[in-house]
Structures are given as structure tokens and as C-alpha cells.
Amino acid sequence: MELDPLILSRIQFAFVVSFHAIFPVFTIGLASYIAVLEGLGFKTKNPVWMKLSSFWTKVFAVVFGMGVVSGIVMSFQFGTNWSNFAQASANFLGPMLSYEVITAFFLEAAFLGVLLFGRDRVPAGVHLFAAIMVATGTLISTFWILSANSWMHTPAGTELRDGVFFVTSWSEAIFNPSFQYRFAHMVIASFLTGGFVVAGVSAWYLLKGREVEANRKALSMSLWLLLFLAPAQAVVGDFHGLNTLEHQPMKVAAMEGHWETSKNVPLLLFAIPDKANQTNHFEIGIPSLASLILTHEWDGEILGLNEVAPEEQPPVAIVFWSFRVMVGLGLMMILFAFVGLALRVGDRFWRTRWFLQGMRFMSITPFIAVLSGWFVTEIGRGPWLVYGMMTQAQGVTPSLTGGMALFTLIGYIIVYSMVFSAGVYYMMRVLYVGLEDDYDEEPDQAERPKRPLSASHVPFELHEDSKFQPVNHGDH
Amino acid sequence: METFDLTLIWAFIIGFGVIMYVLMDGFDLGVGILFPFAPSEEDRDTMMNSVAPVWDGNETWLVLGGAGLLAAFPLVYSILLPALYIGVFLMLSGLIFRGIAFEFRFKARTSRYLWNWAFAGGSTVAAFAQGIVVGTYIQGYDTANGVFVGGALDWLTPFTVLTGFGLLAGYALLGSTWLIMKTEGRLQEWAYKLTLPLLAAVLIVFGIISVWTPFIDDMVRDRWFSNLSIIWVLPALTLLCAFQIFRSVRNRFEGMPFVATMGLFITAYLGLIVSRWPYLIPPDYTLWDAASAYNSQLFLLLGLLVVIPFVLVYTAWTYWVFRGKVRAGEGYH
């Protein structure tokens, strides 16, 4: 089989960016959560908030560190594998990506150090301010990246001359038509991720009977947050979908597995899309519901994939199924948020073991949902790289051979699995040691904000001479 | 409309960023290269502690350089990265390994030897790959119509392997003179002993490169030999710096060897720039050919002017706070 550098480059980019994405999606939500904890602690002076904040700040530091490391590769991928695209779009994407880097550096140099290491060294108000600034900074970073990404979906404010995009209006390019929807959807997704992880970890500690007062508070506030955010995300997602229908109808057709333009389109619950024959197999659907959702009329007409030639259609099956995974997990999130509300009757939400076990499981679902959502939007853009203007095939590096792309793809998979299994393992150690961490007795002279991992002093291995002996707090 | 030549300003910013990166990451990569040869595990702890507080800022310059190149000189980005495809992968992998090893070694006990190897191996691979980048820059790139058209391994030639070893030796020299400045006792003695052989290796490689380069490229030959010009001051200063390193090591000065090594790097770097000026992607494209649109350069410059002073102050402050000697058993636990 001939190795195709285009396919391999797409897989490599998808792998690297997916691996990278799971870290920032968590830190963006967590940063805001920490700011809220700091705010509560500052206002009420209840030490429980500070205990929680101090623990989650450590988690934040480790995840942020992993995000920074995996991000280094990202800033070079455009050039190595997508050099034609990089050259064509640099006038807009270059400044956008650079502003993101600048934001991150500004944040690290100015506020991250105070947040991670300043708890006992600066006044409480200053520490709170730093927490708010770090949270704001992560949102500003999101702003730049999503603006750049949205422009690739709905290019505006630029004109293409001799194969190069020139910016004619910065405001139109930055605030391009899909930006606000994508930004809102992503920020809520980050908050949901932060919320479900905090809730899941707190549930696990509650199951173990560890630090019950603090973890009950953490679970309770996460559940309130999720009760509002999970349904809100469904509404925002709907608006985002309508925006996509307007600008990228073929993506929506792929999401719905909808081949031929028609009215009264059913909402498919199950199907096996078959692009070769331009049809679905084993369809199970609810009549007319897709028409209602997308056009808000029972007999609304929806454009089908047959509007364009098969080679201009995105890959259908993966978009179709990724969308269903995302929506399915989103519905489970809403369900758990409401079950949490119901269990407040009789104050049972922190004592009901099956619910706590369920929340543990739910803590990984936002990551899967976020990646599925990105699969939908990115693969659904195919075959375009800049929608309607530049295809993926035009954007790929001309000198790249299949062998080279395969070499680095395998290479990155090896490097990432080694480095990040160490990272995830260490993360688990930090969670295992938990709020009762007493390693902080040995403050470190060389704690630096640009080395966020130095904020955690948990040892890498479990040791017999370890100061922290896991206590069986009664897991029965 | 275009009152300022922003391209020139950007060339200065990127040029400044590159030398900042080379000097700063240079010494901590150098410490990584020397790491396996240290007299004892305790000395290795001290070596790491000597760079722990400051190595953080160094990748700042690399990432800023990568993003800044895309914004200001996209053609460099879209030709060099494909041309160096495999090399870029090796360099990034090396940097990732050493970065992670750095953090986890401090937290590890029984698995510490693994992180030692990751730190040393990652540093060595990254340094060698960067030396190869320098080599390809002298060698030039095979382009047509603004894209790289050469092969996957064009970057791997006897010449680039030589520059790879050259930078490896150069970074190791920065590392050893850094250790002279920051440590004392047995470790400092060891670093003193290493410095002169490393200096000799660097000078030999520099010498071979200087003799070899004019044969590779006519333009470089004309620039240096067609008429005797002021640029000969640069190699003269390089040799002066080398002599200064030699003299200060013999006299057991502590700070001067490192300062003189930085001088050696800066003058050699300027020499490389004047050899190629104004070509940014030899042999075909100048700074201005490679530049992005005026309003894109301007848009980013505004933000950068705010942040660069901030990064510089932060960097200076970090070095100031952690000035002085690092002793065994201090710092990390």
C-alpha cells in the first residue's frame, strides 16, 4: 500500500492536538474554580476553602505543566506538515498564535508564580487577585486559539491574493461568524470538565471517607454548577449547530447522516453511513425530528450530502458517530446533574454510594465529549482546511513523503505515551495523596512559575519510607 | 504608507530571540550533556540545582521564536521546518524528554537513574539537532517557487554532522564554564579540567567550518575574501574571547570563563549573520522576500513591545534572586 502523506499528516495532527487538548480543556475550567474557591475563602475565612484551593492548585500546576510541554510540538506542526497552509494563512494565523503565546508568557511571568507559590508570602487579597488573573488569562488564551480555529471554518476579514490570505479587517477576521458560538461552547465545555473532575475526585474521597467536610462542600458546589452548565451547554450547542447549518451545511448533513436534500428529515439514533453507496444501513430514527431541531419546523428542508460531489463531502461515518457520542455523553451529564439535585432531599447526595461511584465514572466523560466534539467540527470541515478556500490536500507540505510522515507519527506516539504515562501516573499520585498532603513542609527554593510542576512536592514513587502512609479511612 | 521598515525591526527581534535562546538554553543543555560524566550522584544533584531556577525561561524564547517566525517571516517557517522535518522531530522529542526528566527526577527516588538518562539523552539530542540547523543554514536549502523541494535527509551531510558536533561541544563549554561560576569544590575542579579540552574541540570544529564554508558557497567566499573588510573584526574577537577563556581558566577566575564563552558565541553568531546577510533562507530568499504583510507585522509588534520588556525583567529578576553559588544539598530535596 502506498503511504499517503496527507492522511498520515492528518492522523498525526489529530493525535498531537487531541493529546494536547485534554490538558488545557481541564485547566481552563479548573482555573476559574480555583478563583471561586479563593474568593469564598477570602470572604468567609473558612479554612476549608483554602484547603480545597491549595489542593486543586497543585493539580492545576501538574496539568498546566503537561499542557505546556505538549503545546511545544503544536507550534511547529503547521510548518513541518502543513507548510503550504502555514505560508498562505500566516498573515492572520501567525499573529493570532503569537498572541496566544504572549498571553501565556505574560500570565506565567506575572501571576502564575503568585498563585502557585505565594499563598503564605503575599497578602490574601493579592493571592485572590492572582487567581482571578490566571483564570482570565486562560480564557484570553482560549480566545486567540478559537478565533484562529473559527476563521478556518468561517473565513472572514481576509482576501486571497496569489495564494496568500491578506487581512483586510482584523475585527471581522477575529470575530468571524462562527467564533462566538464556538467560544461559548468551548468555555462551557471546559467548565463542565473542571466541574465533573472536581465532583468525581471529591466523590472518590467521600467513598474513602477522606476529608469529608471539604470534599462534601466541593461536591456540592460542583453539582450546583453542573446543574446550570450541563443544560446550558445543550442550548449553546444548538445555537452553534444552527450557525454551522448556515455556514457549513455539509458538516451538518454528515452529523445527521443525511444524504439527500429533503423535508421531514428524521433524527437518526442509529445508522451505519456508507459513503461509497451514498446511503445509510440499519437506520433507526425519529420522524421529522431533525427538521424540527435544525429549522424549528416539522417539515423544514435540510440540504443533503448529495448537494456536493462525493469527493467534496467530509468523511460521514466518523462525524456521524462522534456527534452521537458527544450528545449522548452530554445527556448523561444533564441526567447526573439532576440526580444530584434530587439527592439533596434528605442530604443524601454525598452519602449515596452508587451516585458517588457514578460521579467517579462521569469524571472522564467530559474529555471524551470534548474530543468527540472536536472530531465532529474538524473532520466535518473536510475536505477543506480553510472552508471553501483551501483544501487539506493543498495545505500539506509538498516535500513530505509518506515514509517521513509515518516515521514522525510513530515517533510522536512513542514519545507521548512515555512522557504522558509518567505525567498521568504522577497526577494519580497527587490525587492519591490528596488534601491531606503534608509534603509541603519542605518548601523548595527553586519553585518557578514556568516550571509549574515544581508546585507539587509529592514523590514520584510509593515508598515504604514515605511520610504519607495511606490510611484506610474505612472503605466499607 | 510604510513609514518604518518593520521587516528590519522584526529581523532584529527574531535575531535577538535566537541568540538569547542559544546562550540561555545553551548552558543548561550543556549541563545536560556533561551530566553522565559528573564525578558523583551528589554532584549531579548540584548540577541540576544550578540550572533549576533559570532553565524555565529558556523554552520561552524557543516557542516565541517559532510563533514569531510564523507571524513575521512565514517563508522561513514554511521552508525550514519541512527541510528539517526529521531533525525538528528529534529536537522536540529531546526537549520534551529533558523537560519532563528535569521535573520528575526531583520527585523520584528509585527511578532516578531513568530520569538521569532521559535528561542527558534529551539534552544531547536537542543540542546536536540544533547544530545541524546551523549547518543547513550555511549549506542552503533546495527550493523552488517558495517551497522546499529537497529530500527527507538533505539536512544530514558530513558538513552538518560536523556543525552538530560543533554545537554539542560549544554547549558543553557553556555548561562547564557555567558550573565553574556556580559551583565550588570538587565539582568546580572537575569543570575547570573539562573546560580547556572542550575549548580546544570547539576551536577545531570552528576552524574546520571556517575553512570548509567558503568552498560550499560562493557568496560566503566573496563576502569574506573579495576584499578585506571590517567584518574580519568578528573572527578576531572570537579568537580573543577564546584566549580570554584560556587565560581565565589558567588563573582560576570564576565568572570570566562563562562571560568569555558567551562572547565567543555572540561573535561567532554575528559572523554567521554577516556571511549570509541579507539572505534569510540561503541561497534564494532575503529578509524581505520572507516577510509577512506589513499590517500583520505591525499588529503583532504592538503586543510584543509590551511583553518583551516584561519577559526580560522577569528573566533578569530570576537570575538575580538565584545569584551566587549552589551548594550540595541545597535547593531540591
Interface of A with B in 161-220 (CB under 8 A): 166-167, 170
Which of A110, A170, A458 faces B107 most closely, judged by CB atoms?
A458
pLDDT by residue (tens digit) across B95-124? 989 888 888 888 888 888 899 999 999 999
Contacts of B299 (CB under 8 A, 6+ apart): A95, A167, A170
Q: Do B100 and A401 touch (CB under 8 A)?
A: no
Is B126 a member of any domain? yes
Which residues are registered as beta bridge partners of A302?
Answer: A262
Q: Do B107 and A457 touch (CB under 8 A)?
A: yes
Q: State how far the Cα of B93 lies from the Cα of B100, in Å rounded to an integer.
A: 11
* Dihedral (Cα; A377, A239, A179, A183), 10-degree rounding: -80
Candidates A16, A87, A151: best to mutate against B (most CBs of B within 10 A) is A87
Chain B positions touching A69 (Cβ under 8 A) are 96, 99-100
Which of A69, A106, A412 faces B310 most closely, judged by CB atoms?
A106
Rounded mean pLDDT of B134-143? Answer: 91
Is B85 a member of any domain? yes
Q: Is residue B3's pLDDT more than 90?
A: no
Q: Is residue A260's pLDDT more than 60?
A: yes
Average pLDDT over all residues of chain A = 90
Contacts of B261 (CB under 8 A, 6+ apart): B173, B174, B177, B241, B245
Candidates A68, A390, A399: best to mutate against B (most CBs of B within 10 A) is A399
Pick the closest to residue B90 from B160, B179, B16, B14 (CA basis).
B160
CB A221 within 8 A of CB A35: no
Interface of B with A in 61-120 (CB under 8 A): 62-64, 66-68, 70-72, 74-75, 77-83, 85-86, 88-89, 92-93, 95-97, 99-100, 102-104, 106-111
Helix (H) or strand (E) holding B48: helix B41-51
pLDDT by residue (tens digit) across B144-157? 988 999 998 999 99
pLDDT of amino acid A438: 63
Q: Do B96 and A72 touch (CB under 8 A)?
A: yes
Q: Do A398 and B78 touch (CB under 8 A)?
A: no
DSSP A314: P
- C-alpha cell recorded at residue B167: 554545537
Candidates A170, A440, A448: best to mutate against B (most CBs of B within 10 A) is A448
Contacts of B197 (CB under 8 A, 6+ apart): none
Is B327 a member of any domain? no
pLDDT of amino acid A421: 87
Question: By mean pLDDT, which of A110-119, A244-253, A275-284, A318-327 is the weakest?
Answer: A110-119
Dihedral sign (CA A161, A164, A170, A172): positive
E-assigned strand segments in B40-168: 143-144, 147-148
pLDDT of amino acid A472: 43
Which of B96, B148, B296 faces A399 most closely, judged by CB atoms?
B148
* Dihedral (Cα; A237, A238, A239, A241), 10-degree rounding: 90
DSSP A110: I
Is B2 a member of any domain? no
CB B57 within 8 A of CB A376: no
Q: Would you place residue B332 in the very low, low, confident or very high pLDDT band (cuts 50, 70, 90)?
A: very low
Candidates B21, B80, B89: best to mutate against A (most CBs of A within 10 A) is B89
Is B1 a member of any domain? no
Which of B63, B104, B149 faces A426 most closely, judged by CB atoms?
B104
Q: Do A98 and B109 touch (CB under 8 A)?
A: no
Q: Do B95 and A72 touch (CB under 8 A)?
A: yes
Rounded mean pLDDT of B238-255? Answer: 96
Which of A72, A94, A109 faces B310 most closely, judged by CB atoms?
A109
pLDDT of amino acid B1: 46
Q: State how far the Cα of A192 lies from the Cα of B188, in Å rounded to an integer.
A: 53
Rounded mean pLDDT of B14-32? Answer: 93
Rg (CA), chain B: 20
In this prediction the pTM is: 0.91
- Whole-complex ipTM: 0.90
Q: Would you place residue B64 in the very low, low, confident or very high pLDDT band (cuts 50, 70, 90)?
A: confident
DSSP A211: S
* Dihedral (Cα; B135, B136, B138, B141), 10-degree rounding: 170
Length of chain B: 333
pLDDT by residue (tens digit) across A413-446? 999 998 888 888 999 999 998 888 666 555 555 6
CB A2 within 8 A of CB A388: no
* 3-class SS letters over B291-303: CCCHHHHHHHHHH
Q: State how far the Cα of A314 lies from the Cα of A331, in Å rounded to an integer.
A: 26
Q: Do B310 and A92 touch (CB under 8 A)?
A: no
E-assigned strand segments in A267-414: 267-274, 279-286, 384-386, 390-391
Q: Count H helices and E strands in chain A, helices first.
A: 15, 6
Is B246 a member of any domain? yes
Q: Do B74 and A86 touch (CB under 8 A)?
A: yes
Q: Would you place residue A347 in the very low, low, confident or very high pLDDT band (cuts 50, 70, 90)?
A: very high
Peptide bond into A383 cis (omega under 30): yes
CB A375 within 8 A of CB A318: yes
Interface of A with B in 424-463 (CB under 8 A): 426, 442, 444-446, 448-451, 453-454, 456-461, 463
pLDDT by residue (tens digit) across A50-95? 999 999 999 998 898 888 878 888 888 999 999 999 999 999 999 9
Q: Write the single-letter amino acid at B212.
A: W
Q: Do A451 and B147 touch (CB under 8 A)?
A: no
Rounded mean pLDDT of B31-40? Answer: 95
> What CATH number is associated with residue B270?
1.20.1630.10
Q: Residue A164, SS3?
A: strand
pLDDT by residue (tens digit) across A177-190? 999 999 999 999 99
Rounded mean pLDDT of A179-204? Answer: 97
Q: Do A79 and B77 touch (CB under 8 A)?
A: yes
pLDDT of amino acid A69: 79
CB B302 within 8 A of CB B159: no
Chain A positions touching B74 (Cβ under 8 A) are 86-87, 90-91, 94
Q: State how far the Cα of A32 lies from the Cα of A29, in Å rounded to an integer.
A: 6
Query: Cell 462525524 identifies what position?
Result: A319
pLDDT of amino acid B249: 96
Q: What are phi and psi of A87, to 5 degrees?
A: -60, -45
Q: Would an 8 Å CB–CB cutoff place A102 in contact with chain B?
A: yes
Which of B52, B89, B97 faces A419 most closely, judged by CB atoms?
B97
Give the number of beta-carbon pairs within 8 Å between A and B: 213
Going from the C-alpha of A449 to that of each of A242, A441, A453, the distances in angstroms are 41, 19, 9
Rounded mean pLDDT of B235-261? Answer: 96
pLDDT of amino acid B155: 93
Which of A72, A86, A444 faces B70 most closely, judged by CB atoms?
A86
Interface of B with A in 35-54 (CB under 8 A): 49, 52-53
Name the residue in chain A with its Cα closest to that of B304. Answer: A102
E-assigned strand segments in chain B: 143-144, 147-148, 279-281, 285-286
Q: Do B96 and A69 touch (CB under 8 A)?
A: yes
pLDDT by residue (tens digit) across A456-471? 778 777 654 444 444 4
Q: Do A419 and B100 touch (CB under 8 A)?
A: yes
Rounded mean pLDDT of A219-247? Answer: 96
Tally of domains in chain B: 1
pLDDT of amino acid A475: 40
Q: Is residue B317's pLDDT more than 90?
A: no
Range of the domain at B67: 7-321
Q: Do A407 and B82 touch (CB under 8 A)?
A: no
Rounded mean pLDDT of B72-87? Answer: 94
pLDDT of amino acid B223: 85
Rounded mean pLDDT of B222-248? Answer: 90
pLDDT of amino acid A470: 45
Q: State how far the Cα of A475 lies from the Cα of A211, in Å rounded to an integer.
A: 13
Is B132 a member of any domain? yes
Rounded mean pLDDT of B242-249? Answer: 97
pLDDT of amino acid B100: 86
pLDDT of amino acid B44: 93
Query: Cell 498562505 identifies what position?
Result: A88
Average pLDDT over all residues of chain B = 90
pLDDT by residue (tens digit) across A121-169? 889 999 999 999 999 999 999 999 999 999 999 999 999 999 999 999 9
Helix (H) or strand (E) holding A398: none
